[in-house]
Chains A and B, each alone.
Chain A
């Protein structure tokens, strides 16, 4: 159901550094009918962004930019095949994000490393990949983010 809001209510009071609209030709698993999402980058925070549907802004989630995207060749090897499938490229100019789940009671953040969201910056097209292998080992070896 469309509610006509431009931005999710949760964004009120949060300073946004950059806002881009990305086409997701297949939607996202669970939200296949939604093809366009905004990525709102939070001011002074290079790590977390908000991803929300342009048509249904309440369909919103926190995403985390892959902390090793520029440095981990191993990670790119793992996702390159999938990236090539969609973008016909070797991974250059493609941002990788992970969906983060909030566990409010325990105030924990849990990243889903099995399904990275890849966004081609030039074409502003994105896909959520579903990998057979969980990337968490690679990520944890290379960053401070758990």
Chain B
């Protein structure tokens, strides 16, 4: 991992079009601003990990009772 030291209001540039700026440092918290092209998704890592785990948990298991699956996806909107 590349480690860089920055002060408040200093910036890191990633590639030609992504900028990460240190906006505020307070105790153990750091507020950062990110400028990136709209099509580049930016997420908090813990949120991404949460969704990743939810997706994996949502996989239809091979062991799932086929009849149960049919019942489920045959349900109509309430």
Q: How far is the CB of A16 from chain B (nearest CB, A)?
A: 10
Contact of A9 among B41, B56, B62, B73 (CB under 8 A): B62
B51 touches A130 (CB 8 A): yes
B70 touches A14 (CB 8 A): yes
A29 touches B68 (CB 8 A): no
Tell me, yes or no, whether A69 is within 8 Å of chain B by CB.
no
A60 touches B60 (CB 8 A): yes
Assembly CA distance A123 to B72 (angstroms): 30
A13 touches B48 (CB 8 A): no
B77 touches A67 (CB 8 A): yes
Tell me, yes or no, whether B3 is within 8 Å of chain A by CB.
no
Tell me, yes or no, whether A115 is within 8 Å of chain B by CB.
yes
Which residue of A is nearest B71, CB measured? A107
Assembly CA distance A9 to B61 (angstroms): 10
B74 touches A115 (CB 8 A): no
Task: Using A29-B51, A132-B47, A145-B77 as known contacts, say yes or no to A61 and B59 having CB atoms under 8 A apart.
Answer: yes
Interface positions of B (Cβ within 8 A of A) = 38-39, 41, 43, 47-48, 50-62, 64-66, 68-70, 72-78
Interface positions of A (Cβ within 8 A of B) = 8-10, 12-14, 26, 28-31, 42, 44-50, 58-62, 67, 84-86, 99-102, 104, 107, 109, 112, 114-115, 127-128, 130, 132, 143-145
